[in-house]
Amino acid sequence: MNVEYRMEEIQLEAFPHIQVQHLTVAYGGHVALDDISIDIPERCITAIIGPSGCGKTTLLKSFNRLIDLQDEVTVKGRILIDGEDIYDPRTDVSALRKKMGLLSQRPQVLPMSIYDNVAYGCRIHGIKSRRTLDKIVERELRSASLWEEVKDRLRSPAARLSIGQQQRLCLARGLAVEPEVILGDEPTSALDPLSAERIERKFLELKKDYAIVLVTHIIRQARRLADYVIFLYLGKLIEHGPADEVLNRPKHAKTRAYLSGHFIEDASP
Amino acid sequence: MARRHVEEGVFKVLMAGAALILAASLALILGTILFKGLPALNVAMLISAPKGGYYLGKDGGILNAILGSLAIGFGSTALALALSLPLVLYLNIYLKKRSRLALAVRFFLDVLWGIPSIVYGAFGFTVMMAVGMRASLLAGTLTLSLVILPIMARSMDEVLKMVPFGLKETSAAMGATRFETAFKVVVKQAYPGLLAAVLTAFGRGIGDAAAVLFTASYTDFLPYSLFKPVATLPLAIFFQLATPFPEVQERGYASALVLTALILAISLTARWFGRRFTRHVIR
């Protein structure tokens, strides 16, 4: 019954926030993503799963055009966010990236103080008032449950925090600009189990307000968090659907093989 | 004993030998200028310009060359920095890693680095003749800035290459423009290395004799105009050592000591003032 209920909830709110249409991404001659088409629902956690090198991160980073920074990258197809093609030459990339908060694999703090890390995005996007910034920094650090640990040393270098604290700081920094979508690129992979759990719980809280897209190679993490699952293999979209279906009753042999830990190439089609 | 252990042993000896030779040459050079220069060094030498017959052993000092060298050194460093910093930020932040343009620019900078400074001096002189300019502080500064530009730019370039890609990516992911990423993140992270590059170039420039020989010329007057010749310490050292009088030669060594001390003092000061900017650097 519970499953049914959840499915309905998804259906009701499943106005596709991100629509991927025939997306093909290549680095030089290497095709990283091959003709992917998919809709990513709002107010859900969508997990992108699959073995290393299958294009999970490429897909994630094509949502905020971060793949633009790579050498010799070519993108074909379209990605619509709120109905607008983000690869249109007229797209304001800065505004797009503000909308899409990214939490990367290893916490990447910026070479500045804890305070300035959180305020970085806000300052870029035009918030100058000291009082407003103070408020935002406190609010976001509290929300990332980091405030109590750092409130007396907001001016000290962010690099001095522990890895787990750094990742929470990165989360606070990402949320400070009030994005619409949160992109997580295996955000717990560098963390100890307790820090990882904190981030996961935070994600469950955040999905009330945000669409979350999470790249993970931990199947149990996908089971814990995901409402919707996308399985990629060697740049191809193999299967996608509600988490319960893909994770428990996969239709495709490759998905079954991956989930059960067998060699995928052995899977009969 | 296994071949690999012999290799290891030989390499250790080679490394220790190389380190020893380097340390010994430094000690020898410093020892020579200290030993020969220190007795001749006095306050009068530091605070007065050469008087009549200075190069024959009479009274005076090298204040003309100290001030001239500082002016030319700071001037050319500032000019080179004004060109190098935008250039290397462009190479490392605006262009992608495997950009052909970046490769070409780096290649030409390396070639420029290899050109002897006397050639820059001759080139500067030719240009001066063509535009009807006399040897002057300005001409010397411009020429010297060309000498140190490739040194500064390539050293900075190597420093910026070491900035983790993740930092640029993170900044971009926040919606920062490349300009903001450059000045708010990359320069902050690379600050100690950039400072070292500037100081290397400054040290190289202020110690150069050949580039200023034709272009800044030499004078016994203190520098007072951009358009008049100025004295520089390397040339002061040369002129004094080239005399047949031992007491003047000693002053040459003292001048070398002054030049060395000057570079050391400026380096230390810059690092001391730059200290507070390095505390946020991510290691």
Are B89 and B161 in contact by the 8 Å Cβ rule? The answer is no
Is the predicted pLDDT of residue B1 greater than 80, yes or no?
no
Question: Hey, of A30, A57, A60, A69, which one would you mutate to test binding to chain B, going by the most B CBs within 10 A of its CB?
Answer: A69
What number of other Cβ atoms are within 10 A of residue A120's Cβ?
23
Q: How far is B96 from chain A (nearest CA, A)?
A: 6
B168–A contact, CB cutoff 8 A:
yes
Return mean pLDDT, chain B: 94
User: ipTM of this predicted complex?
Assistant: 0.88
Size of interface A-B (CB pairs under 8 A): 82
Kindly report, residue by residue over A213-234, the tens digit of the pLDDT: 999 989 999 999 999 999 999 9
Q: What CATH number does the domain located at B44-277 have?
A: 1.10.3720.10
Distance from CA of A29 to the nearest CA of B (A): 15
Mean pLDDT to the nearest integer, A24-32:
92
Q: Given CB atoms, is A193 within the 8 Å cutoff of chain B?
A: no
What 8-state DSSP symbol labels residue B243?
S
Sign of the torsion angle spanned by Cα atoms B34, B40, B44, B47: negative
CA A217 to chain centre: 13
| Confidence class for position A43, pLDDT limits 50, 70, 90 | confident
Contact between residue A119 and residue A130 where contact means Cβ atoms under 8 Å apart: no
Instruction: Tell me the Ramachandran region of residue A35: left when phi exceeds 0, alpha when psi lies from -120 to 50, beta otherwise.
Output: left
How far CA A226 is from CA of A188, A195, B246, in Å, comes to 15, 19, 87
Q: CB–CB of A203/A173 below 8 Å?
A: no
Please check whether residue A74 touches B, CB under 8 A.
Answer: no
Residue B165 C-alpha, separation from nearest chain A C-alpha, in angstroms: 10
At B220, the amino acid letter reads D
Higher pLDDT, B224 or A2: B224
pLDDT tens digits, residue range B130-183?
999 999 999 999 999 999 999 999 999 999 999 999 999 999 999 999 999 999
pLDDT tens digit string along A83-124? 889 999 999 999 999 999 999 998 999 999 999 999 999 999
pLDDT reading at A6 higher than 80? no
| Whole-number percent of chain A with pLDDT over 90 | 78
> What is the pLDDT at residue A54?
87
Q: Residues 184..203 of B with a Cβ closer than 8 Å to A: which? A: 184-185, 188-189
Q: Give the pLDDT score at B200.
A: 93
Asked whether A80 and A86 are in contact (CB, 8 A), the reply is yes
Please name the helix (run of DSSP H) or strand (run of DSSP E) that holds residue A221, with its range, or none: helix A219-225
**Which residue(s) pair with A157 in the sheet?**
A113
**Element (DSSP H or E) covering residue A196:** helix A193-206
Taking contacts as CB-CB distances below 8 angstroms, the residues of chain B near A159 are 280-283
- Least confident piece of the model among A235-239, B95-99, B205-209: B95-99
- Cβ separation A98–B176 shorter than 8 A: no
The pair phi, psi for residue A118, each rounded to 5°, is -70, -35
Nearest to A107 by CA among A54, A194, A186, A211: A186
| Fold annotation for A2-110+180-266 | Rossmann fold (3.40.50)
Model pTM?
A: 0.87
What pLDDT is recorded for position A13? 47
CA distance B148 to chain A (A): 29
Predicted confidence (pLDDT) per residue in B255-273, tens digit: 999 999 999 999 999 888 8
Nearest to A110 among B98, B171, B283 (CB): B171
Interchain pair B97, A71: CB under 8 A: yes
- Using a pLDDT cut of 90, give the percent of chain B over it: 89
Structure tokens at A173: 């920094």
Say yes or no to pLDDT of B246 above 70: yes
Tell me what pLDDT residue B31 has: 96
Q: Say yes or no to pLDDT of A3 above 70.
A: no
The pLDDT tens digits for B44-86 are 999 999 998 899 888 899 999 999 999 999 999 999 999 999 9
B282 to A104: CB separation less than 8 angstroms, yes or no:
no
Interatomic CA distance for residues A57 and A59, integer angstroms: 5
- pLDDT of amino acid A82: 85
- Across the beta sheet with A100-103, the strand order is A100-103, A181-185, A211-215, A45-49, A228-233, A236-242
